[in-house]
Structure 1
Amino acid sequence: MSLKHAILILLESEPGSGYDLVKRFKAGLGYFWNAKHQQVYLELKKLSEAGWLAFEEEAQDSRPDKKVYRLTPAGHAELLRWLSEPVAPNRINDALLVKLYGGTLTDEANLREEMARHVAIHLKTLDSLQAIERELLALPEAERLAWRLPYLTLRRGILGEQAWLAWADEVAQTLRSAD
């Protein structure tokens, strides 16, 4: 997947400025697709130049005018084309796994501290995802229906965090048994 397709998906449902898109990333896609502020703005420019987005400038009182982007028919066609193509399985580059793999070369206390730090991060992420799930499940059934596919991505995130934490428990037990 590329950032351009994530942006097209976000703009398919609602036009928005670069700032709006960054907020939407953080609120939804950001749990499984990362993009920096500058990357979003650079990609918006490219997508506009490709004819996939159009924008209107809106005046603001105390700030420069903002550009509000929307999909063009060509952008919509590109999004549909991409959605119909298969995607490659996700590959991971995880520095923590590399560190653990080479863990015999360092003090195990260092590994335990590193794992504790990551566990805290994953617990916080799991808590955030579960809070979003509670909000979605509290919606009236008709509104929940509109969120059924994004809900599946949320469930993947929850299950992924739970699996990661279960694995971290195995790591902790292994590191304790080495003492």
Structure 2
Amino acid sequence: MSLRHAILTLLETEPASGYDIVRHFKESLGYFWNAKHQQVYQELRRLSDEGWLHCAEQAQSDKPDKKVYSISPSGRAELRRWLGQPAAPNKINDALLVKLFAGALAEPDDLRAEMARHRTTHQATLASLLDIQRQYLALDAAEQARQRLPYLTLRRGILGEQAWLAWADEVDAELAARADQSSEKPVGK
């Protein structure tokens, strides 16, 4: 997936400013696709240059004019073309997993502290996702039906975070056992 297709996906729903798109990334797509503020603005410019977006300036009384982007017919055609292409399986680069793989060389307490930091992040993400799920479940049936596919991406995120936390329990148990074993060894042996 590319950033351009993520932006086209967001704009398919409704026109938005660059600021709004960055905010939407943080609140929705950002759970599974990351983009920096500057990257979004650069891609908006390229998409406009390619004719995949329309851009209209909106006057603001207390700020510079705001650019509001909407998807063009050629942008919609590109989005449909992309949607018809197979998606590559996700590959991960996870430094924590590399550290655990080499964990026999590390101090158990260092790995335990690292796991605790990651656990805090995953617990916070899960709490945010569960809050979004509560909002979805409070919608009327017609709106829930309309939002069903985005909801299923949310469910994937929830299940992923729950699985990560269950895995972390296994890792923590192993690290605790290793710490206990190292503390039982006589000094100098």
TM-score (norm 1): 0.98
Q: What is aligned with 1:41?
A: 41
| Cα displacement (A) at 1:62 | 2.0
Distance, in Å, in 2 between the alignment partners of 1:101 and 1:51 is 47
Once the two structures are superposed, the pairs formed by residues 80-119 of structure 1 within 5 Å of their partners are 80-119=80-119
Q: Give unmatched runs, 5+ long, in structure 1.
A: none
Runs of 4+ residues deviating >3 angstroms = none
1:80-139 deviation digits (Å, cap 9, x = unpaired)? 000011010000001111111111222110000000010011011001101110110111
Q: What is aligned with 1:153?
A: 153
| Cα displacement (A) at 1:176 | 1.2
Distance, in Å, in 1 between the alignment partners of 2:73 and 2:143 is 27
Q: What is aligned with 2:168?
A: 168
Identical aligned residues as a percent: 65
Distance, in Å, in 2 between the alignment partners of 1:12 and 1:68 is 13
Secondary structure at the residue paired with 2:16? coil
Q: Give the letter for the 2:53 counterpart.
A: L
Distance, in Å, in 2 between the alignment partners of 1:176 and 1:24 is 40
Q: Give the letter for the 1:105 counterpart.
A: L
Q: Give the letter for the 2:39 counterpart.
A: Q
Secondary structure at the residue paired with 1:69? strand
CA-based RMSD of the aligned residues comes to 0.7
TM-score (norm 2): 0.93
Distance, in Å, in 2 between the alignment partners of 1:17 and 1:102 is 45
**Does 1:6 pair with 2:12?**
no
Secondary structure at the residue paired with 1:110? helix
Paired residue total:
179
Distance, in Å, in 1 between the alignment partners of 2:64 and 2:99 is 46
Q: What is aligned with 1:53?
A: 53
